[in-house]
Each structure stands twice: as C-alpha cells, then as structure tokens.
C-alpha cells in the first residue's frame, strides 16, 4: 500500500488526504450500511481523512448512513473530517438557498444526521441570487463562532462572487471562505486551471474537487456501451444517460479509449491515470473519490502509485490527446 499524501487546504492549517471519499448518488441509492461501512473503513485504513456529504444527497439519507457507519466504526473524532453542503434542503421557501435561516437549520440537521458536534467543512452548494452575499457570510461566521463549523466554503461559485465574500468578510471582520468545491477532471478544467488562479495564489483558497472520473466515463468502462450496473442507468438519472449518449459524451468516450493505451503502458488502469492527473495539479487540495462498490474504491486509491509516473512527457502526451488545455486569461 502506498502511503497517503496530505496537502494543506489552501493557506489554512488543515491537512487533508490527497484522496478523499464522497457519497453523492452512491450512499443509500446504490449502497446500504454494510458496503458503506466497508468502504469507509477501507478509505480510512488507506489514510483518507476527509469524507464529503451534503443535505441533498439521497434527501439526507446519505448523511444518516455516513453518521451511522462512522459511529459503528468508532473512529476518534480528531482523526477525520466530515463535510455537509447547504442549498437544496426541501421544497419550502425556507428550506432552500443560502439565507441565514436555511444555513442555520441545515447545519443543525446535518450535525444530527452525521452524529457529530461540529462540521469540519460546510459548503454553500451553489450561489444564491436571492440572498445577499453579506447575509450568507454572516450566517457562516456565526456558525464558526459557535463552534458548529470549523471551515466554510463555496461550491461552483464564480470567482467574482468568491472575491465578494472575501471583501465582505474583511470589511466586517468576519470569517472568510477557506475552500471551493468545483468539478475538475480531464474534460472539465477551466475553473481550476484559469478562473480561480488568483484565488489560489493571492487569497490562499483551498479546493476539494468533484467528479474526477467525469461520473465514470474516465474509467473507460463506457467504451463498449453503457453498462447495466452504472449510475447512468439509475432511475431519476436519465439526464446522465442522455449526456453519455450525446455527441460530446461519445467524443469523451473515444478520447478516453485513446488515453487508455497510455494507462496500459504505465501498468495502471484508466481510472487510476485520470485520478492521478487531477492530483498532478498542486492547486488541488484533495480529489474526492466516488465509488459505488468497495472494489472500485480499492482500485482508485491505487492511483497514488501512478502520480510519480506523470512526468512532463506523459502529461504532454495526454495533452495531445485531450486537446483542451484552457487558455490563460489575457493580461493588460
């Protein structure tokens, strides 16, 4: 087993494992308590110290399962980090968005479901055009001061809005965001590689990146069609099925098959190559793994061994196949 790498979450003192483990779609929809426990234990034994969740995942059941499993596993509270995200808590106006009301209720509900006294990370799952950023920053700051949240962050906010949150925090002496949670994978690069550049370099923002395998496409398992047992066939996720079968989806599947030859040469699986590629970007604090079976998680954790093999020539070769390197912002 390769030793886990730990990275600072931006300029904060928190050190997260380079691979973390999240529960979107899998916990409750595809996995019950026993496989959840098995996967969490495997991740923890490999040195994973951050477990990602959200109020909306399986309408709260994902947090309940994670909380029950961690409780049964008996991990000391100071040995792991757990997150929740607030935005989609229910259908009523008071149950959605980033108002002080919903942020406060969502935090309390997540603490109960996860069976913890505080959340290590609490994310604003999307921007809310109906709530002033100042109200959201004040609500997060209050939770931090109450000891219910240690670090707060955003997910898929544009850079301008994040800078606004920093400005409000500075003006009123409130706690600024520490981290952003954006999508990042070989097919989705602009935010991490270009848009957030100044936030990483000048504001010391950390990043916990999601869908590193582009929902599974980057495993190369879609090369022969959509496998029966995959998230693309889950009821309610027909949109994902359609996305995989679209022209862009087919292009991604073909591109992945071409990169798979490089993975073979490195004695790695395509999933491992794609995951190690995300980690090769040092602005990434942690890559959140997704896995619907313990065997997938085991394979994915093995990607740490591939990181050292990603020298400039391999990265250039991948770049040549991907052909999508984002252009830097113009300087004036």
CA within 13 Å, CB half, 292: 14
Enumerate residues 32-91 that contact ligand NDP by CB under 6 A. Answer: 52
Query: Is position 181 an interface residue for ligand NDP (rule: CB under 6 A)?
Result: yes
Enumerate residues 123-162 that contact ligand NDP by CB under 6 A. Answer: 125, 155-156
Q: Which of 67, 89, 212, 294 binds ligand NDP (CB under 6 A)?
A: 212
Distance from the Cα of residue 251 to its chain's centroid: 24
Q: For the purposes of burial, counting CB atoms within 10 Å of the CB of 201, is it exposed (0-12), middle (13-18) or buried (19 or more)?
A: exposed
Q: Which of 111, 300, 303, 306 binds ligand NDP (CB under 6 A)?
A: 300
Query: Is position 214 an interface residue for ligand NDP (rule: CB under 6 A)?
Result: yes
**How many whole angstroms separate alpha carbon 291 and alpha carbon 23?**
8
- Residue whose CB is less far from ligand NDP, 201 or 233: 233
| SS3 category, 220 | coil
Q: Which of 9, 19, 23, 98 binds ligand NDP (CB under 6 A)?
A: 23
Q: For 273, which DSSP code?
A: H
Q: Which backbone phi and psi does 276 adopt, to 5 degrees?
A: -65, -35
CA dihedral 4, 14, 121, 43 (to 10 degrees): 10
Q: Which of 127, 206, 216, 294 binds ligand NDP (CB under 6 A)?
A: 216
Query: Is position 294 an interface residue for ligand NDP (rule: CB under 6 A)?
Result: no
Q: Which of 219, 260, 285, 286 binds ligand NDP (CB under 6 A)?
A: 219
> From the candidates 21, 57, 184, 222, which is the catalytic residue?
57
Query: Is position 28 an interface residue for ligand NDP (rule: CB under 6 A)?
Result: no
Task: Please identify, among the stretches 37-45, 114-122, 292-300, 311-319, the one whose residues bind ligand NDP according to the rule CB under 6 A.
Answer: 292-300
One character per residue 229-268, x = contact with ligand NDP (rule: CB under 6 A): -xx-------------------------------------
With CB under 6 A, what is the number of residues at the site for ligand NDP? 28
| Direct distance between the N- and C-terminal alpha carbons of the chain, in angstroms, rounded to an integer | 48
- Residue whose CB is less far from ligand NDP, 42 or 167: 42
Give CA separation, 66 vs 27, 53, 84, 271, 309, in Å.
Answer: 8, 8, 11, 25, 34
Residue with tokens 């957030």: 196
Residue with tokens 């996995």: 31
**How many whole angstroms separate alpha carbon 103 and alpha carbon 74?**
28
- Residue whose CB is less far from ligand NDP, 58 or 111: 58
Task: Please identify, among the stretches 106-114, 142-150, 192-200, 295-303, the one whose residues bind ligand NDP according to the rule CB under 6 A.
Answer: 295-303
Q: Which of 7, 19, 26, 165 binds ligand NDP (CB under 6 A)?
A: 26
Query: Is position 178 an interface residue for ligand NDP (rule: CB under 6 A)?
Result: no
* Exposure b/e, 257-266, CB count within 10 A at least 16 = b: eebbebbeee
Q: For the purposes of burial, counting CB atoms within 10 Å of the CB of 33, is it exposed (0-12), middle (13-18) or buried (19 or more)?
A: middle
Annotated catalytic, 57?
yes
Q: Which residues bind ligand NDP (CB under 6 A)?
A: 22-24, 26, 52, 125, 155-156, 181, 210-216, 219, 221, 230-231, 271, 288, 290-292, 296, 299-300
| Residues belonging to the active site | 57
């Amino acid at each position: 087993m390769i030793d886990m790498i730990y990275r600072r979450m931006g300029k904060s003192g928190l050190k997260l494992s380079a691979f973390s483990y999240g529960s979107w779609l899998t916990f409750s929809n595809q996995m019950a308590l026993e496989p959840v426990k098995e996967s969490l234990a495997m991740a923890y034994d490999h040195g994973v110290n951050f477990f990602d969740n959200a109020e909306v995942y399986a309408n709260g059941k994902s947090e309940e399962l994670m909380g029950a499993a961690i409780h049964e596993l008996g991990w000391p509270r100071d040995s792991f980090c757990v997150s929740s995200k607030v935005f989609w808590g229910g259908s009523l106006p008071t149950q959605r968005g980033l108002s002080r009301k919903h942020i406060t209720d969502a935090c309390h509900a997540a603490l109960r479901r996860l069976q913890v006294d505080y959340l290590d990370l609490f994310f604003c799952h999307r921007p809310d055009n109906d709530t002033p950023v100042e109200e959201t920053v004040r609500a997060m700051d209050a939770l931090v001061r109450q000891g219910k949240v240690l670090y707060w962050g955003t997910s898929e906010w544009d850079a301008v809005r994040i800078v606004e949150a920093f400005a409000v925090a500075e003006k009123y002496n409130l706690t600024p965001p520490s981290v952003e949670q954006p999508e990042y994978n070989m097919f989705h690069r602009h935010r991490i590689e270009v848009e957030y550049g100044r936030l990483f370099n000048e504001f010391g923002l950390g990043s916990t990146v999601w869908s590193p395998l582009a929902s599974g496409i980057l495993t190369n398992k879609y090369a022969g069609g959509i496998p029966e047992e995959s998230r693309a066939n889950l009821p309610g996720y027909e949109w994902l099925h359609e996305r995989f079968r679209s022209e862009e989806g087919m292009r991604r599947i073909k591109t992945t098959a071409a990169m798979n030859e490089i993975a073979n040469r490195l004695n790695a699986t395509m999933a491992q190559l794609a995951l190690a590629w995300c980690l090769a970007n040092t602005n990434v604090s942690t890559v959140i793994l997704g896995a619907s079976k313990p065997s997938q998680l085991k394979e994915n954790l093995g990607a740490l061994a591939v990181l050292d093999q990603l020298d400039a020539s391999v990265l250039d070769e991948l770049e040549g196949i991907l052909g999508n390197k984002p252009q830097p912002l113009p300087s004036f």
